[in-house]
Amino acid sequence: MNSDYTDSNPALGALYAKHIETIAARHDHALEQAGASHAVIYSGNPKNAFLDDYQMPFKPNPHFVNWVPLTCLPYSYIIYTPGETPILVYFQPHDYWHVVPGTPAGYWTSRFDIRVVHSVEGVAEHIPVDREKCIVIGEIDDDALTFGIERVNPNTAMNILHYARGVKTEYELAIMRLASQRGARGHIAAEAAYRDGQPEFEIHRAYCEAVSHTDSELPYGNIVALNKHGAVLHYTDLDRQPPAESRSFLIDAGAQVHGYASDITRTYSNRDERFRALIDRMDTMQLDIVAEVRAGLDYRDLHVATHKMLAGVLVDAELASGAPDTLLETGVTSAFFPHGLGHLLGIQVHDVGGFMENESGTTIDPPSGHPFLRLTRVLEENMVLTIEPGLYAIDMLLENLRGTPAESHVNWDSVDWLRPFGGIRIEDNIRVLLNDQENLTRDAFALL
């Protein structure tokens, strides 16, 4: 990794102590409500492909990463007891087939009682003796990995931790700014490769080189879509040859630092001025939506308001006609914009807790007619979320409007014009403030 992301970063070290205090306090509360005395947090383990000895890329338990910035440390455990220094059981096998984890080092080490073990069986002696007072947090696919602890991922504790994770600490925010800067570097490189006439596969490679990630290190599979591929919301096929004619480019790609993700989308036009003007109009709309973000806002209301704003864009672009409420109620806006406005962002790209009303686990349904919205909470200070409106020519959804009251509101000639361009999505990562917002994405591009 580049030097500004290393574990010796003094700015991160200064924030980390307070972060650990916050995470410990959340676990104190979760343990108390669960009637337990110790949390045993498992990092996870690699998984083999079916009927094969090939191991899938390792993805750590996000609850483990929430404590410590170690994303490549399988078969390890954090043992937390309120009022005591957390124990990190650090698995360092004797192995000559693979690279093994090195000596623990970095700004985080002083906050743990680190105990190195060389076998999974060696973990057992570090687990609290009173197993009935323990809970395990993590994905367990072998009962032996619980070491006799019967309570695995109890809902009472998990709901508390998931709800709390929606609000980020200053340490997490600092890391996510770095992840945004890293992602912005990749987007700049990807646009340059697109302007150079490269195919999707080479654009993807340019992005990965700029962010210094292998594919398995990316927080999610890059969406690198030329022309009509932009209408496939999760397009990941990556053509090896450039198209005969380059019209448009949509890239949805992120980066990670210490396990925390950025999630950024941009759309570009090659030479078509009409499509470029539509991108500009969507960019203006996206910034108007971002400007509404603040603590106390019901994100469901912002999603519905976005559809009404999009109705105005559709009318201005001569893609549809009618009043905003009419285009919303007849399903026209949903056909052009079928996904949700955004989601919580953090260790997981679609971070947990987006539907939670409270720490008891009560959930909030998305608005009627908008089943794919991943965030339904009232926004709180220091949440980080995405704002990603889109406008696409998706044949299947548009054809569903035929024979309905919506059909007469669609300008089908303009839809035919849009089809070869696929669509537009613009996505920023936003920190919620009391009466304002911080745009991590735009700040990162400005910094570069």
DSSP letter string, 176-206: HHHHHHHHHHHHHHHHHHHHTT--HHHHHHH
- Return d(Cα 137, Cα 236) in angstroms, integer: 32
DSSP letter string, 315-327: HHTTSB-S-HHHH
CA distances from 415 to 125, 198, 274, 394, 423 (A): 66, 27, 13, 10, 11
Q: Where are the alpha helices (DSSP H) in 337-439?
A: 395-399, 412-418
pLDDT tens digits, residue range 14-65? 999 999 999 999 999 999 999 999 999 999 999 999 999 999 999 999 999 9
pLDDT tens digits, residue range 85-110? 999 999 999 999 988 999 999 999 99
Hey, which residues does 427 pair with through a beta bridge?
A: 265
User: What does DSSP say about strands 437-439 and 428-432: parallel, antiparallel, or unpaired?
Assistant: antiparallel
pLDDT tens digits, residue range 291-347? 999 999 999 999 999 999 999 999 999 999 999 999 999 999 999 999 999 999 999
The pLDDT score that the predictor gives to residue 3 is: 40
Closest of 189, 181, 197, 151 to residue 30, by C-alpha = 151
All structural domains of the chain, each given as residue ranges with its CATH number in brackets, are: 3-164 (3.40.350.10), 170-447 (3.90.230.10)
- Return d(Cα 403, Cα 413) in angstroms, integer: 17
pLDDT tens digits, residue range 175-209? 999 999 999 999 999 999 999 999 999 999 999 99
CA 269, 385, 438, 295 torsion-angle sign? positive
- Return d(Cα 272, Cα 283) in angstroms, integer: 17
pLDDT tens digits, residue range 381-394? 999 999 999 999 99
pLDDT tens digits, residue range 10-24? 788 899 999 999 999
- Radius of gyration of the CA atoms of the chain, in A: 24
- Return d(Cα 106, Cα 130) in angstroms, integer: 32
Closest of 433, 428, 427 to residue 297, by C-alpha = 433
CB neighbour list of residue 215: distance below 8 Å, 6 or more residues apart: 208, 221
Q: Per-residue confidence at 7, pLDDT binned at 50, 70, 90?
A: low
The pLDDT score that the predictor gives to residue 224 is: 98
Closest of 106, 97, 121 to residue 71, by C-alpha = 106
**Range in 51-60, 245-254, 260-269, 277-286 the model is least confident about:** 51-60
| In the chain, % of residues over pLDDT 90 | 96
The two tokens of residue 125 are 């002696």
Q: Per-residue confidence at 117, pLDDT binned at 50, 70, 90?
A: very high
Inter-helix orientation angle 10-34/170-195, to 10°: 120
pLDDT tens digits, residue range 350-401? 999 999 999 999 999 999 999 999 999 999 999 999 999 999 999 999 999 9
pLDDT tens digits, residue range 136-175? 999 999 999 999 999 999 999 999 999 999 999 999 999 9
CB neighbour list of residue 426: distance below 8 Å, 6 or more residues apart: 265, 266, 267, 279, 282, 283, 286, 388, 389, 390
pLDDT tens digits, residue range 230-243? 999 999 999 999 99
Contact call for residues 281 and 317 (beta carbons, < 8 A) = yes
pTM of the model: 0.96
Contact call for residues 379 and 293 (beta carbons, < 8 A) = yes
Higher pLDDT, 3 or 89: 89
The pLDDT score that the predictor gives to residue 8 is: 54
The pLDDT score that the predictor gives to residue 1 is: 38
